């Protein structure tokens, strides 16, 4: 009996042999960090949490009209399976919405609905990229490195710079473009809160078109995945640009990824869509039919009605954007005040979305207890432990682990806490020698 128990224990303790993908896939660094922060908060610590790209519904609720439509849809028992490609009424509303708001004309056969953007991105990568295919993406950027790994593609990362607001330029992209299969772009960008400017975007589109014209008959083309999840949230004189409006010939090679998640503070409602050539949309639909990652029926019915309510949408966005910009500008100004005092911080002016790009360049400095902040991860830990400030380092988005830049998200930010957060940060940094 004793020997059997020992053997059973050894079997239970042994690591199972799983797939190469499972063994090599890296989990989301942001989700891990968020878990650590929640534990600190649970233990009673006051944390200025600017990590997760989500919203506190008490501060940023979804539009009341959308909420009412969801409730009404459940009351009407819309609880069965939706159409695999998305309900027809929703795809018609999306077609009307993007035509009116963005000047893009896509028919219902060129629209695919899913439970947010992630399954659509996965289906897109699976539909286009084979093992070893080149995928170009910027660093930092959200999850493109992980999706490339999921399809066993060849990583072609483009390291961006603060001089270009951490957005890729045509000169950055050009060395990788020959033979590439996917170019993944996001604007407004997660994690930077910055946007592609018109001139650079036109140059990038021209590179894609020239490369596809160069390729022979039957050769796989280069496709642009354009994630525009935050496109309705631009500030000041910043404009959102998209590839098809800039270069109509890009329509054949562009797949848009969009959703209500960020522009309507509806991350948990889970309704997203892709726009693109019908041939690609159909392949994505086939993959999605096996994943079953459909947006819920009731939410689809609600969004179909909400997207046609122009006055309500305009009123919501006016208030929502104003509140977000107040927070982004307040934190930016706070960082500039610390910089003027000689502290090792910087920030890039807010342009769009819910993120601010900030810098804390404190490696090599010594803490009050004599410890040297040798690595950027030491700086991140110091910010959390001494300033109670939780932000996401750019290395969580694929950048170098030595990068001193961070993403700061204001989706859960209370305006009244901004001055005290800046004060806490200033005191913590002033202690460094």
Complete domains list, the chain, with CATH: 2-60+314-430 (3.90.1150.10), 64-309 (3.40.640.10)
- Helix/strand/coil for 405: strand
Q: What is the pTM of this model?
A: 0.94
**Looking at residue 83, what is its pLDDT?**
97
Tell the burial category of 169 from Cβ atoms under 10 Å away from its Cβ (0-12, 13-18, 19+).
buried
Please give the Cα distance from 185 to 142 (Å, whole number): 10
Please give the Cα distance from 424 to 389 (Å, whole number): 8
**Looking at residue 1, what is its pLDDT?**
46
**Looking at residue 356, what is its pLDDT?**
98
Convert the pLDDT of each residue in 404-426 to its tens digit: 999 999 999 999 999 999 999 99
Q: Which residues of the chain have pLDDT under 50?
A: 1-2, 4, 11-12
Residue 357 has φ and ψ, to the nearest 5°, of -85, 120
Tell the burial category of 65 from Cβ atoms under 10 Å away from its Cβ (0-12, 13-18, 19+).
middle
- The angle at the Cα of 23, spanning 20 to 28, to the nearest 5 degrees, equals 125
The DSSP annotation for 246-277 comes to H-GGGGGGEEEEEESTTTTT-TTT--EEEE--
Neighbours of 324 (CB within 10 A): 24
**Looking at residue 234, what is its pLDDT?**
98
Please give the Cα distance from 356 to 345 (Å, whole number): 13
Please confirm whether the linkage preceding 188 is cis (ω < 30° from 0).
yes
**Looking at residue 24, what is its pLDDT?**
85
């Amino acid at each position: 009996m004793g020997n059997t128990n020992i053997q059973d224990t050894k079997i239970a303790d042994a690591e199972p042999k799983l797939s190469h993908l499972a063994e090599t896939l890296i989990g989301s660094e942001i989700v891990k960090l968020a878990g650590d922060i929640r534990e600190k908060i649970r233990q009673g610590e006051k944390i200025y949490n600017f990590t997760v790209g989500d919203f506190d519904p008490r501060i940023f609720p979804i539009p009341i009209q959308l909420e009412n439509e969801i409730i009404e849809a459940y009351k009407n028992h819309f609880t069965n399976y939706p159409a695999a490609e998305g309900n027809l009424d929703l795809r018609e509303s999306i077609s009307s919405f993007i035509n009116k708001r963005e000047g893009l004309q896509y028919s219902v056969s060129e629209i695919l609905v899913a439970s947010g953007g992630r399954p659509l991105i996965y289906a897109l990568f699976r539909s286009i990229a084979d093992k070893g295919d080149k995928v170009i993406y910027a660093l930092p950027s959200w999850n493109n490195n992980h999706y490339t790994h999921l399809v066993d593609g060849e990583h072609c990362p483009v390291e961006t710079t603060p001089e270009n607001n951490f957005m890729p330029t045509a000169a950055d992209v050009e060395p990788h473009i020959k033979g590439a299969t996917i170019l993944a772009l996001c604007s407004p960008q997660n994690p930077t809160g910055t946007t592609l400017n018109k001139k650079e975007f036109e140059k990038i589109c021209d590179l894609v078109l020239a490369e596809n014209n160069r390729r022979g008959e039957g050769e796989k083309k280069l496709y642009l995945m354009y994630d525009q999840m935050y496109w309705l949230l631009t500030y000041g004189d910043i404009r959102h640009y998209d590839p098809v409006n800039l270069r109509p010939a890009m329509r054949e090679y562009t797949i848009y990824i969009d959703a209500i998640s960020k522009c309507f503070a509806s991350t948990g409602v889970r309704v997203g869509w892709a726009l693109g050539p019908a041939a690609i949309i159909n392949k994505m639909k086939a993959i999605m039919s096996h994943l079953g990652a459909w947006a819920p029926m009731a939410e689809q019915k609600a969004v179909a009605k909400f997207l046609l309510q122009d006055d309500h949408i305009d009123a919501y966005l006016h208030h929502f954007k104003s509140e977000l910009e107040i927070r982004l500008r307040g934190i930016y100004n706070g960082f500039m005040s610390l910089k003027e005092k000689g502290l090792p911080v910087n920030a890039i002016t807010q342009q769009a979305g819910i993120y601010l790009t900030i810098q804390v360049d404190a490696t090599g400095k010594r803490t009050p207890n004599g410890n040297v902040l040798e690595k950027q991860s030491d700086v991140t830990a110091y910010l959390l432990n001494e300033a109670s400030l939780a932000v996401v380092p750019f290395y969580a988005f694929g950048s170098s682990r030595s990068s001193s830049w961070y993403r700061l998200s204001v989706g859960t930010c209370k305006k009244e806490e901004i001055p005290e957060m800046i004060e806490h940060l200033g005191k913590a940094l002033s202690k460094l020698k």
